[in-house]
Structure 1
Amino acid sequence: MLVKGLGGTVQVTVISLLIATLLGLFCCLLQISGKKPLQWISQIYIDVMRGVPVMVLSFFIYFGVPNGLGIRLTAVQAGVITLSLNAGAYLSEIFRGGIQAVNVGQMEAARSLGLPYGRAMRKVILPQAVRIVIPSMVNQFIITLKDTSILYAIGLPELMQSGSLIVARTFRSFEVWATVAVIYFIIIFILSKISKRIERRLHNGKGKG
């Protein structure tokens, strides 16, 4: 049951982060568009998502939205939406920081060669920005993975829920929760090591350049 729950945790995390990456990049582009209405829309979304706790957001989406709009959502759908919206706001700021870290001369050089703004951003700026933000994106992956444990409150079939079901049947809370904690620790430890290795390689690559 714990292995099955772990599979659910990883699946929801990966799907949520794929959606959040697209959402975060879109909001980031709105932020740097220079158009006030688009910047306001993006900033309101970011401020709201960063200001509302994940559990409150999940309850609103799983219980509030169906009650108010009549849209039925499964726990998995509500969980994915919750994590995507939450992580998307943070990834938007991560992408914006990465783009701002790219030397301004790169855009000027691309425009001087005749590239339109959109193509220059896609071909020149974004590839460099992504390289800069990869370690931060891995850290966000870790945070989102841990946030899935909160969503057992809405019945999301993940590791925490599996642990709760086992405890309810066996009453062996010490062994079960210790095992769950070790599983989370191992996964997050591996991801942290991957993040540090990527950061070190990127740093060494810059030094060689």
Structure 2
Amino acid sequence: MNFDFLDFSAISGSIEFILAGLKMTLQVVALAGVLGFIIGTLLALCKIGRMKFLTILADIYTSVFRGTPLVLQLMLIYYGLPQAIGVNLEPVTAAVLAFGLNSGAYISEVIRAGILAVDKGQREAAMALGVPYRQMMKDIILPQALKNILPALMNEYITLTKESAIVTVIGVTDVMRRSYMVGSNTYAFLEAFIFAGLIYYVLVMILTLLGKVIERRMRRSD
């Protein structure tokens, strides 16, 4: 196959400019990942709790955020909130909120499944010993659940990393936005986007390897 139509020399002077967007990409992914994990954990606890009202609210939250496009949620937060409450959000803040809220819905299902997969005998034994519910969840159930859901959790963060490219629609100068700017200036869109794709691919591979390393260490600690 002939690839003469590709000329990466056209973007050679802009490589550093595109790579500089990595800082913004990683910032959004990291903050949204932490926010999503916190929200997901709280939602999971609500779903398995005995308070029916909280269970219904958690299910509605999950249904809404899983049932609507992420780009729509991002647009509503960035463009809609100022209209609704009169507060203008910075693009990065809006991106972190949108990705964190969306990721929390998916993570909640992962954590819920992990908690329910823990042997019921663990919970019954803790209750028989008089261990408070919060301490039981924090010290006994959740640590075991995290071991079971680590692969699914890492997969969610990998998805979050790839979907972070959507922030370009609200002007965040991440890797994707910068590659588009380079393409506009050099008319080498294909080369710029291929380079951006390689960056995302490397990030995903790093996360995949990191997940495998953590998983091995957790198995050895058993």
Identity over aligned pairs, percent: 34
The correspondence for 1:86, drawn from 92, 102, 107, is 102
Partner-residue secondary structure (3-state), 1:73 = coil
Aligned AA (2:132): P
Between 1:105-114 and 1:39-48, the stretch displaced more is: 105-114
CA RMSD across the alignment: 1.5
Deviations 1:80-133 (Å, cap 9, x if unpaired)?
A: 010001100011111101101100000111111121222111111111111211
Q: Does 1:113 align with 2:129?
A: yes
Q: Is the 8 A contact 1:76 1:157 kept in 2?
A: no
Q: TM-score normalised to the size of structure 2?
A: 0.88
Higher gyration radius (CA): 2
Partner-residue secondary structure (3-state), 1:65 = helix
Q: What CA distance in whole angstroms lies between the structure 2 residues aligned with 1:56 and 1:192?
A: 28
How many Å apart are 1:197 and its aligned residue? 4.3
Partner-residue secondary structure (3-state), 2:204 = helix
Aligned to 1:53: 69
Aligned AA (1:66): P
Paired positions, count: 206
Stretches of structure 2 lacking an aligned partner (at least 5 in a row): 1-16
The correspondence for 2:175, drawn from 155, 159, 162, is 159
Q: Is the 8 A contact 2:147 2:215 kept in 1?
A: no
Deviations 1:42-101 (Å, cap 9, x if unpaired)?
A: 000000000111111111111111112211111101100100011000111111011011
Stretches of structure 1 lacking an aligned partner (at least 5 in a row): none
Q: TM-score normalised to the size of structure 1?
A: 0.93
Q: What CA distance in whole angstroms lies between the structure 2 residues aligned with 1:199 and 1:190?
A: 14
Q: Is the 8 A contact 1:135 1:198 kept in 2?
A: no
How many Å apart are 1:137 and its aligned residue? 1.3
Q: Is the 8 A contact 1:135 1:195 kept in 2?
A: yes
How many Å apart are 1:195 and its aligned residue? 2.7
Aligned to 1:19: 35
Q: What are the equivalent positions in structure 2 for 1:138-157 lying under 5 Å apart?
A: 138-157=154-173
How many Å apart are 1:191 and its aligned residue? 1.6
Partner-residue secondary structure (3-state), 1:118 = helix
